[in-house]
Structure 1
Amino acid sequence: MFAEMTIQIILIYALTGVFAGLMGGMLGLGGGIIIVPVLHYIFIQQGFASSLTMHQAVTTSLATIIFTSLFATYEHHQKQAVSWSIVYRIAPGILLGACLGVFIADSLSSNVLRIIFGIFEMLVAIQIWFEVRPTKIVTLPNTNGFIFSGIFIGIFSTLLGIGGGTLTVPFLLWCNLNIRNAVAISSACSFPIAVAATTTFIIASWNNPNVFMHSIGYLYWPAALIIVMMTIIFAPIGARLAHYLQTEILKRIFAILLMIVGINMLI
């Protein structure tokens, strides 16, 4: 199957993984906001069905997050930064939300998903540029609060093909957790989101005759494999570079890039 992919396409998948890994490591951002728009564009060039390009991009992105979140969670756990009691309280809502998100996404056209993602990308760009931070509350929510928050995070993370960090971290900061614990818990929460959403997407699209060759349902695994390998290698490098580079300047550049990509997704 790799022989049927051009060298240029393989290189783009690899560079996508490199960039997603570096940016994730340096800025603490999930790779989905980078991976999904690139996959959407490349899938069009490869001749994927236009009605399914976003569905396949979202599912493939979520599949990569299964592995990257697993590695990240292990690293955070080794440093005792993961509050598992919070993960267990929010996980049921996240799992339910991820499954609901699949059925919502499957009922929407690729164009609608593209517009939703473009708007989200622009909002993230604004948040990064202006460094918007949620106002903290005094206490953690009760069990119902965690469940409903988890459902919201799970639905939108699935619709967008992201691991949930862009939504989970602000929520946890709002709950008065410090950034170190918020990022660690977010990584742990990204794993069940990605597993539940990817699995449900595959089941929902198993007999779809319009998916591209070598796909497992909506999952185009050759792209996922290449991206995962590069992301796992370069995320730790990005984390180390964060200690030597001017990350504030990088954030501004990245915000501009996200805004351009977001606008392009809307056109």
Structure 2
Amino acid sequence: MNLELLALMLCLGSIVGVLAGLLGIGGGLVVVPALVFILPFADVSQNLVMHLALATSLATIIVTSASSSFNHFRLGNVDFFVVKWLMPGVLIGGYIGATLTEWIPTQYLPKVFGVIVFVLAVQMYRSIKTVTQGCMPNALITSLWGSGIGIISSLAGIGGGSLSVPFLNRHGVEIRQAVGSSSVCGFGIALSGMLGFIFHGFHVEGLPKYSVGYVYIPALVAISITSVFTTRIGAKLATRLPAPVLKKFFSLFLICVATSMLVQ
């Protein structure tokens, strides 16, 4: 880990923090592809890069989601009734997703996730001019949805905002409340997913120095340092921007992410 790579990860953390506060995502959609590119320059074996990128991304999301959740709570953007229903599912799903990465070839995951994200982005964009009247499902159905969100998010090393925000908004949760509540749920996904990656990586040979399981500590610290300070910028932007503008920005962002995953 030389100074150039350290500076690059500090800049990456700044971007991640803004995205976490603005869109309710933990930044994994940026962190994972960035680490896949950066880690080989830190002499990380190519066959370990994807697992390290996913695990380290989830670890950074714990920090960014906690900071983003705090800022959204202060701004009144968290619906704790919704969080209470989603959280059991996302905790279970996050750990299951980390476990599945040991069995599923990782080269297929970006394309599968890209299709899902693209569909959600199109649905979000089409709903810009309409007001959603649907209500949240019952606790069991919501927990099952949370489990699915947790599994997919952990497999992709993300906080789940790209899945939970459209789900909540489609079921009548106002977009700012959906973003803030997603930040809280993202913390749960990241925590359970990270613990899963640590557990499964403990006895893996060839991991770089300063790794705890699959979590690469130097990258975690560098990204977290700057992201904590920039989440407040994103949270303030989320509060000041009109809801249709935020929804449109979020859907276009998802389309870009989906496209980048599908063309890999």
| 2:223 is aligned with 1:227 | yes
**In the alignment, does 2:125 pair up with 1:131?**
yes
The residue that corresponds to 2:11 in the other structure is 15
The root-mean-square deviation of aligned C-alpha atoms, in Å, is: 3.0
Q: Deviations over 1:121-168 (max 9, x none)?
A: 7x38x9289824498453221122012101100100100111111111
- Match in the other structure for 2:80: 84
Deviation at 1:234, TM superposition (A): 1.9
**Residue 13 (structure 2) pairs with residue 38 (structure 1):** no
Taking structure 2 as the reference length, what is the TM-score of the superposition? Answer: 0.84
> Distance between the aligned counterparts of 1:247 and 1:139, measured in 2?
21
Offset at 1:6? 1.2
Aligned equivalent of 1:153, options 145, 149, 152: 149
Code of the residue aligned with 2:261 in structure 1: it is: G
Contact 2:32 2:53 in 1 (8 A): yes
Quick one: structure 1 residues 256 and 152, their matched pair in 2 at CA, closer, same or farther if it must change by over 3 Å?
closer
d(CA) in 2 for partners of 1:39, 1:120: 22
Residue 93 of structure 1 corresponds to 89
What are the equivalent positions in structure 2 for 1:193-232 lying under 5 Å apart?
193-232=189-228
Assess if the C-alpha contact under 8 Å between 2:175 and 2:247 holds in 1: no
Gaps of 5+ in 2: none
Number of residue pairs the alignment of both structures matches? 258
Q: Could you list the runs of 5+ residues in structure 1 that have no partner in the other structure?
A: none
Question: Shift in Å at residue 94 of structure 1?
Answer: 1.1
Matched, 1:168 2:170: no
Q: Who is 2:43 aligned against?
A: 47
Matches of 1:23 and 1:213, distance apart in 2: 30
Q: Distance in 2 between matches of 1:25 and 1:200?
A: 25
User: Is contact 1:17-1:231 (8 Å) kept?
Assistant: yes
Residue in 2 aligned with 1:262? 261
CA positional deviation for 1:212: 1.6
Counterpart-to-counterpart distance in 2, 1:117 and 1:194: 17
Specify the code of the residue in structure 1 equivalent to 2:143.
I
Q: Is the 8 A contact 1:94 1:193 kept in 2?
A: yes
Mean Cα deviation higher: 69-78 or 155-164: 69-78
Contact 1:63 1:224 survives alignment (8 Å)? yes
Q: Secondary structure at the match of 1:68?
A: helix
TM-score by length of 1: 0.83
Aligned to 2:52: 56
**Contact residue 80 and residue 181 of structure 2 kept, 8 A:** yes
Distance 1:118 1:11, change over 3 A: farther
For 1:184 and 1:26, locate their aligned partners in 2 and report how far apart those are by CA, in whole Å: 9
Between stretches 102-111 and 64-73, larger displacement belongs to: 102-111
Using a 3 Å threshold, how does the CA distance of structure 1 residues 253 and 77 change in structure 2: closer, same or farther? closer
